[in-house]
Amino acid sequence: MAKPLIEIDRAGKSFDGGRSFAVRDVSIAVEAGAFIALVGTSGSGKTTTLKFVNRLIEPDTGEVRIDGVSVATVAAPKLRRKIGYVFQGIGLFPHLSVAENIAVTPQLLGWSRADIAARVAELLDLVGLPQSYATRMPDALSGGQAQRVAVARAIAARPRIMLMDEPFGALDPVTRDALGGAYRDLHRRLALSTIMVTHDVQEAVLLADRIVVMSGGQVLAQDTPRALMANSASPEVAALMAMPRRQAERIRTILDGA
């Protein structure tokens, strides 16, 4: 088997000087082109684990390697320019237009003006926004449009890796479903490797190739959605993974009753 693209290797983090661990001994390997979902309840350590990869949080123990190279040896800004990051807070720069927001990382990398303009136009198409939106300011966008711009900004400099932290968590269900599907498409077309944090098991099942279940800062299980839903050794994992199906059955009962 080929060497994984990303290796999170026995990484741990304590936010209180070692008395308790938010993440302990977490190891996850991500092959190139994989779509991994980290699921778990609030406080399970999934966001902290995600942020180890682009050094928004530094692990106290263990390390993260990309292509076999420890990320700690690469200057954080340089590392982050090669990794896309989309999060629930969206964080568009309110003083920059849509086009300027998308262009931020290419600019930091010193792309030419013409290359940047062409890339912005291409990205607006890619995330399904009209070209006329280029000059809009962020406060004139709906939540879904803003998150589309955030995705465009994250992939602008053609990263191979995408980190997503509850990316669609603040959107209404319809927009959320549409954006999830659209992103899944992008992931495939651009041959991205994605790690997505979500507390929504259904979203994880529908989007990811592999699901990592976390609890109390540790990995409880990781496998394909199908395998995890079929059977699990741990009752906690089984209960979590049964959620989508239980919900589907309840809906069917309601429909049959009618």
Partner 1 sequence: MDERILAALRLLPDYLGRHVLLSAAALALGCALALPLAIVAARRPAIRWPALAAASFVQTIPGLALLALFYPLLLGLSAFSTRILGVSVPALGFLPSLLALTLYSMLPILRNAVAGLTGVDAAVLEAADAVGMTARQRLLRVEAPLAAPVVMAGIRTAAVWTIGAATLSTAVGQTSLGNYIFTGLQTENWIFVLFGCAAAAAVALAADQLLGLIEVGARRRDAGRIGIGALGIALGVAAAFVPLASLGSAAYLVGAKNFSEQFILAELISDRLQATGATVERKEGLGSAVAFRALASSDIDVYVDYSGTLWANVLGRTDTPENAAMLAELSRELRARHGVVLLGALGFENAYALAMRRDRAMALGIASIADLSRRAGELTFGADLEFLSRPEWTSLRDAYGLKFKTQRSFTPTFMYRAVDSGEADVITAFSSDGRIAAQDLVVLPDPMHALPAYDAVLLISPRRATDATLTRALMPLVDKISVEHMREANYMIDRDTDKATPRDAARFLGRASGL
| Residues in contact with partner 1 by the rule CB under 8 A | 54, 56, 76-82, 85, 87, 89-95, 104-105, 108, 150, 153
- Whether the CB-CB separation of 35 and 194 falls below 8 Å is answered with yes
> How far apart are CB 227 and partner 1 at their closest, in Å?
32
Q: Whose Cβ is closer to partner 1: residue 24's or residue 46's?
A: 46
Cα radius of gyration rounded to whole Å, the chain? 19
Q: Whose Cβ is closer to partner 1: residue 44's or residue 54's?
A: 54
Q: Whose Cβ is closer to partner 1: residue 64's or residue 237's?
A: 64
Q: Whose Cβ is closer to partner 1: residue 30's or residue 102's?
A: 102
> How far apart are CB 53 and partner 1 at their closest, in Å?
11
Tokens of 24: 């302990």
> How far apart are CB 226 and partner 1 at their closest, in Å?
32
Look-up of token digits 């009209």: 130
β-strand 23-30 against 6-13: which pairing, if any?
Answer: antiparallel
70 backbone dihedrals φ, ψ, rounded to 5°? -65, 130
Task: Of 21, 6, 16, give the one whose Cα is nearest residue 215.
Answer: 21
Q: Whose Cβ is closer to partner 1: residue 57's or residue 205's?
A: 57
Distance CA 173, CA 35 (A): 21
> How far apart are CB 77 and partner 1 at their closest, in Å?
5
> How far apart are CB 52 and partner 1 at their closest, in Å?
13
Tokens of 153: 């900004």
Dihedral sign, CA of 112, 96, 120, 102?
positive
Distances (CA, A) of 99 to 14, 109, 122, 248: 39, 16, 11, 41
**SS3 assignment, position 86:** strand
> How far apart are CB 150 and partner 1 at their closest, in Å?
8
Q: Whose Cβ is closer to partner 1: residue 153's or residue 210's?
A: 153
